[in-house]
């Protein structure tokens, strides 16, 4: 007797409701509207599983309003990458799958007084100096070992702790979200195994899509905003993309297992085991939030230390680099407590999950530092290796349309394993060098994972975010040198 055929997996359908905005057609179990932002070509390229994941997120209890997918959306674990969902604390859930494994992964961008022409003759030595200064790759890394007391201090104090330890300048803190440390962190909720994995990893890049990139401002797209951010044509800037390393990954692993195990006790049926969650008001929900905030602070301390190491390496070669002020430091994978108005109600505190999404506060928002408040929050958008990156600014419409959020990068169209089968790392490095982009890496083979063809067109992603009213385009950056694990 032939085996019964499985019915085809349900694929949610989309209806366009505005330029650059599409609504997921209602499906059984959805408790909130789900929308996708993007141009027609980007939307056509979204995988069916990413749309199914978005639909499942829209079925979670306690949603305060619409669930949003940004133009760099692609499938992930539980939540799709490029997804934003806001929960009511009293009856909603907090999801470890909605934050992801690399807690508070994000981008830090430093400004310099250098021009691209200043560094062109010495771009190779600069890349080598940065590679030596900032440890990268899989494993322990080369950062400072911390005893239990200092590790707890880093988990509680984030970048502010790092500054107190002599890494960077207190002026940096004004350009970091939450002034460098999420409040209400609970270091005691971080497991011994997560702590062990974090030892020696502060001040290290890691591997995968993490990078340290030397860039030049290729084009100013809004002169007023660029002037407000201190950007000018030809200027050299340096961006760092990394997160909470093994400590954050283990924290996510620990709590996803606990959330799966406790789901029946809370009356939760998980349509996807990676959509692990717990009631935000439960002991487990509060424990996760405390541990996640501690891991996020570890990520903020990590980027603060890396920024200090980068400044030292650049100034050794180029004394004219200036003070190298921090433009911004923003996180992409987080659940943060924020004030939002929803459904015509007065602003209230909500738990906003952003997975592969950047907070993009509009001009005048009270949480912005005074010197950038007239212009909106700076939002760095990383392109694929060898492609352009962008600086955007938060726009007023983003608060109502996407919980004050914008995209975070180009967004993958191909898995890492698929990319390694299609491209050869050595050939890719040679091609980038022919284009004048110097890459320094500890694994030539793994470079293929980050081939430009494995990602969406970042310019199309940015155009969609701007067209949807989520952000304003400020400047386009071109890569000069890239450091990868």
CATH of the domain at 368: 3.90.1860.10
Parts of the chain with a pLDDT under 50: 1, 140
Res 111: pLDDT: 98
> Which token pair is 142?
């080369």
Res 451: pLDDT: 84
Size (the chain), residues: 485
Q: Give residues with Cβ within 8 angstroms of 288, minimum separation 6.
A: 94, 96, 189, 255, 259, 278
Q: Can you tell me the distance from the alpha carbon of 107 to that of 331, in angstroms, rounded to the nearest whole number?
A: 7
- Could you please report the per-residue DSSP string of 410-445? --BSS-HHHHHHH--HHHHHHHHHHTT-EEEES-TG
Strand pairing category for 389-394 and 211-220: unpaired
Asked if residue 4 belongs to a domain, the reply is no
Res 420: pLDDT: 87
Which residue numbers are catalytic? Answer: 408
For the chain, counts of helices (H) and of strands (E):
13, 19
Res 7: pLDDT: 58
User: Is 287:99 a contact under the CB 8 Å cutoff?
Assistant: no
CB atoms within 10 A of CB 374: 12
Asked if residue 9 belongs to a domain, the reply is no
pLDDT tens for 11-25 read 799 999 999 999 999
Closest Cα partner for 129 from 309, 321, 323, 319? 309
Q: Give residues with Cβ within 8 angstroms of 395, minimum separation 6.
A: 360, 362, 376, 469, 470, 471, 472
Asked if residue 2 belongs to a domain, the reply is no
Asked if residue 341 belongs to a domain, the reply is yes
Looking at the structure of the chain, the number of domains it has is 1
Burial 429-455 (b: 16+ CB within 10 A, else e): beebeeeebbbbbeeeebbbbbbbebb
Res 151: pLDDT: 96
Q: Which residues pair with 283 in a beta bridge?
A: none
Asked if residue 191 belongs to a domain, the reply is yes
Range of the domain at 413: 14-484
Q: How far is CA 400 from CA 128, 340, 381, 431, in A?
A: 45, 8, 21, 43
Q: Which residues pair with 212 in a beta bridge?
A: 240, 483
Q: Give residues with Cβ within 8 angstroms of 196, minimum separation 6.
A: none
**Which H/E stretch holds residue 476?**
strand 471-484
Asked if residue 3 belongs to a domain, the reply is no
């Amino acid at each position: 007797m032939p085996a019964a055929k499985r019915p085809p997996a349900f694929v949610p359908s989309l209806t366009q409701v505005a330029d650059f905005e599409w609504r997921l057609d209602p499906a059984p179990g959805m408790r909130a509207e789900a929308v996708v932002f993007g141009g027609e070509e980007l939307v056509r390229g979204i995988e069916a599983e990413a749309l199914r994941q978005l639909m499942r997120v829209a079925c979670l209890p306690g949603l305060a309003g619409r669930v949003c997918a940004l133009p760099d959306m692609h499938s992930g674990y539980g939540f799709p990458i490029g997804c934003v969902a806001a929960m009511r604390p009293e009856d909603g859930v907090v999801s470890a799958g909605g934050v992801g494994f690399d807690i508070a992964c994000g981008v830090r961008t430093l400004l310099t007084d250098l021009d691209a022409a200043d560094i062109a003759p010495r771009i190779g030595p600069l890349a080598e100096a940065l590679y030596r200064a900032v440890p990268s790759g899989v494993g322990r890394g080369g950062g400072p070992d911390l005893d239990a007391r200092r590790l707890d201090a880093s988990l509680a104090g984030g970048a502010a702790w790092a500054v107190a330890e002599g890494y960077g300048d207190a002026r940096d803190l004004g350009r970091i979200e939450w002034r460098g440390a999420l409040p209400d962190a609970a270091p005691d909720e971080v497991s011994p195994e997560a702590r062990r994995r974090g030892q020696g990893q502060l001040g290290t890049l890691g591997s995968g899509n993490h990078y340290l990139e030397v860039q030049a401002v290729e084009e100013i797209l809004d002169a007023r905003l660029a002037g407000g951010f201190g950007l000018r044509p030809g200027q050299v800037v340096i961006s760092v993309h990394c997160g909470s390393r093994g400590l954050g990954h283990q924290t996510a692993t620990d709590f996803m297992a606990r959330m799966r195990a406790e789901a029946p006790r809370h009356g939760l049926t998980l349509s996807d085991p990676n959509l692990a969650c717990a009631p935000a008001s439960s002991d487990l929900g509060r424990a996760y939030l405390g541990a996640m905030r501690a891991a996020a602070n570890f990520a903020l301390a990590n980027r603060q230390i890396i920024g200090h190491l980068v400044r030292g390496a650049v100034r050794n070669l180029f004394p004219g680099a200036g003070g190298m002020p921090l433009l911004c430091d923003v996180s992409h994978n987080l659940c943060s407590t924020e004030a939002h108005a929803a459904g015509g109600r007065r602003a209230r505190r909500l738990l906003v999950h952003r997975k592969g999404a950047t907070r993009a506060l509009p001009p005048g928002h009270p949480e912005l530092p005074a010197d950038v408040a007239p212009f909106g929050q700076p939002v760095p958008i990383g392109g694929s290796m060898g492609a352009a990156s962008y600086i955007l600014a938060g726009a007023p419409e983003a608060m109502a349309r996407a919980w004050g959020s914008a995209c975070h990068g180009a967004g993958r169209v191909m898995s890492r394993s698929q990319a390694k089968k299609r491209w050869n790392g050595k050939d890719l490095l040679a091609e980038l060098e022919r284009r004048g982009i110097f890459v320094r890496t500890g694994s030539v083979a793994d470079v293929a994972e980050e081939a430009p063809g494995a990602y969406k067109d970042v310019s199309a992603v940015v155009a969609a975010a701007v067209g949807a009213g989520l952000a304003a385009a400020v400047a386009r950056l071109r890569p000069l040198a890239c450091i990868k694990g």
